[in-house]
Chain A
Amino acid sequence: MTRLNQIELAVAGTMLAVSPWVIYAAPHEATMGLVYKIFFYHFPSAWIYLLGAIVAGVCSAVFLFGGNRNMDSWALAAAEMTVLFGAMTLVTGPLWARKAWGVFWVWDARLTSSLIVWMVFVAYLILRRFGGPGSDKLGAGMALFGLASVPFIFVSVNVWRTLHPQTSVIPTLPVSMGRPLWFCFTAMFLLFLALLSLRARLERQRGRIEELYLAEDEA
């Protein structure tokens, strides 16, 4: 673990540990009351979920068309982050919806597309784990499909009629609500950077182990 990773993990961990107090200090929302505070974890995890999908897709494209093996490690790491932060998004969202909408889930464009992209990356990880030779390139194709779906998720709330709040909500937040939101976002973003870097390093180490085993077999 590099010094930078240690700092990132320590700062992110401290910020996440402090976040309940920062969120507690935020005022209640007029119509939803207390339950809207789930949003302080839901929004950052959702954005990082999409960021993970973008990083995985871009790195996969570079690997697929440029043959850069190092980029494949980053793509796999980013795909794991996408599944991790996507799980947070897809669990915290319905918990908020149960109180705000009266139901845990509705099959609208935003929720359904988010679930589908999450399942694409779960399938990517299963393929990489059990797919055998050639699964890296097939997986890269899947990650590109996931990347192509990200803009669809983002604009879905503005294009189709959905229960999900629109993207215009965030810029209109008052400072008293925006401050804890960006605090939680920074904490999760640092966590994402640290975990992404460590997971990519693990993948490179695994690649090196495989090379040494092959060299041993040949010798």
Chain B
Amino acid sequence: MRFCRALLCVVALLAVPGVVAAQPQPSPDEFVPVTEVPPEEQIPAINLIGAAYGFVWIVVVGYVWSLGRRMQKAEADLAALERKAR
């Protein structure tokens, strides 16, 4: 009886690595927590901040420049037409 118990324990211990190995491995398509992403695959925060602030500045400067040009053209057209009307 003692021998049977010992044998059962040995079999159980030997079976553990086999059961663990038989577990399905996560497929590469599944969700991977951000903490496990290797550093070379992460985007540094400073690049994202630079892109965000840079975009806002480019849009503001571009719009002010575009509005200034449109206003200059409209004022020139208006002045020419008013001269003609007189």
A contact set with B: CB distance below 8 Å:
1, 9, 16, 20, 33-35, 37-38, 41-42, 45, 84, 87-88, 91-92, 95-96, 98-99, 102, 191, 195, 198-199, 201-202, 205-206, 208-209, 212-213, 215-216
Contacts and interface: CB of A to CB of B under 8 A. Distances in A.
Contacts of A20: 53
Contacts of A95: 48-49, 51-52, 55
Interface string B66-86: 010011001101100110110
A33 B45 CA distance: 8
Interface residues of B, number: 27
Which secondary structure characterizes the binding site on chain B? helix
Main secondary structure of the interface of A (DSSP, over half): helix
Given A38-B48, A99-B45, 7 more contacts: A84-B63, A88-B56, A95-B55, A99-B43, A195-B67, A205-B75, A216-B85
Contact of B74 (A1, A205, A215): A205
A198 B60 contact: no
Contacts, number: 77
**10 interchain residue pairs of minimum CB distance:** A35-B45, A212-B81, A34-B45, A92-B52, A205-B74, A38-B52, A95-B52, A95-B48, A91-B55, A102-B34
Contact of A91 (B45, B52, B82, B84): B52
A216 B60 contact: no
B74 A96 contact: no
B46 interface: yes
A15 to B, nearest CB: 12
Contacts of B74: 202, 205-206, 209
Most chain-B CB neighbours within 10 Å: which of A16, A91, A99? Answer: A99
Contacts of B57: 16
Nearest to B42: A99
